[in-house]
Amino acid sequence: MKLKLRIWRQAGPNATGKLVDYDIDGVSEDMSFLEMLDLLNENLTNVNEEPVAFDHDCREGICGMCGVVVNGIAHGGSSTTVCQLHMRSFADGATIEIEPWQAGAFPVLKDLAVDRSAFDRIIQAGGFISSNTGSAPDAHAMPAPKREADVAFDNATCIGCGACVAACPNSSAMLFTAAKITHLAMLPQGQPERYSRVKSMVAAHDEEGFGNCTNIGECAAVCPKGIPLESIAQLNRDLIKSMFTKDGK
């Protein structure tokens, strides 16, 4: 396959970026999208140009490190992450436009790589259960109803890739925050800190400079793990309840 690529190139966080055109030949349809970028980088290296920087690691859709906007869609319309997008989804001769995640809270580091450390800080604000190593009771001491445990699991599958923020016209990280809140709120072990957690995590979300949610639904549509919008409703519900709960602090 022969393709035309338009890729966002930006030398550093403070540099101005622009879309640069590249032609690439010899792409096989079995290649993954990132392998296609590897090939481009190999070609660029051979002509002594600097390769395109992009984040990636596991390349099996679970680490959450990769993520770019391909032709206007976060993760390029693959049902998981962009590393699982294969070139057979593109026509020979197609033009592919590749841009980094855009959000005020995700500054571009270089080319297609962005800084998502704001997510870690949201978790630091309360995305955990305070239980020191060694202090745990037997795992069967507290049964968890299967239905709730399953909802907890569905939300715990979030890989923190940031596609929700990238796709959101408001650059909101509500889906990310809601996934963690719902995961922990559905488990018996998560109850003691349930209401203080939602307050501090939402406060951290806002402080990090993410926009507010306007219930548009772009986030859930591109989420590689299928976290639903109702998780955000769960966050809202818990936040409202926290205002009437003593341990909501």
Within residues 33-52, the interface with another protein by CB under 8 A covers 34-35, 38-39, 42, 44-46, 48-51
Q: Does 79 bind another protein (CB under 8 A)?
A: yes
| 240 scored as a contact of another protein (CB under 8 A) | yes
- For another protein, the binding residues in 118-177 under the rule CB under 8 A are 119-120, 123-125, 127-140, 142-146, 149, 152-153, 156-157, 159-160, 166-172
Smallest distance, another protein to C-beta of residue 139, A? 4
- Using CB under 8 A, which of 69, 164, 181, 227 touches another protein? 69
Q: For residues 225 and 81, is the Cβ–Cβ distance under 8 A? A: no
Residue indicated by tokens 């559905």: 186
Shortest Å distance, C-beta 46 to another protein: 7
Residues numbered 198-227 forming contacts with another protein, rule: CB under 8 A: 199, 202-203, 205-206, 209-218, 220-222
Asked if 197 interacts with another protein (CB under 8 A), we say: no
Q: Does 233 bind another protein (CB under 8 A)?
A: yes
Site for another protein in 97-126 (CB under 8 A): 97, 99, 101-106, 109-110, 113, 115-117, 119-120, 123-125
Question: By CB under 8 A, how many residues form the interface with another protein?
Answer: 129
Confirm or reject binding of residue 5 to another protein (CB under 8 A): no
Shortest distance, position 246 Cβ to another protein, whole Å: 18
DSSP code string of the chain = --EEEEEEE-SSTTS--EEEEEEE----TTSBHHHHHHHHHHHHHHTT-PPPP----SSSS-S-----EETTEEGGG-SS-GGG-BGGGS-TT-EEEEE----TTS-EEETTEE--HHHHHHHHTT-S----TT-PPPGGGS---HHHHHHHHHHHT-----HHHHH-TT---HHHHHHHHHHHHTSGGGSTTHHHHHHHHHHHHHHTT-----S--HHHHH-TT---THHHHHHHHHHHHHTT-GGG-
Q: Which is nearer to another protein, 88 or 247 (CB)?
A: 88
Q: Which of 30, 91, 93, 246 binds another protein (CB under 8 A)?
A: 30
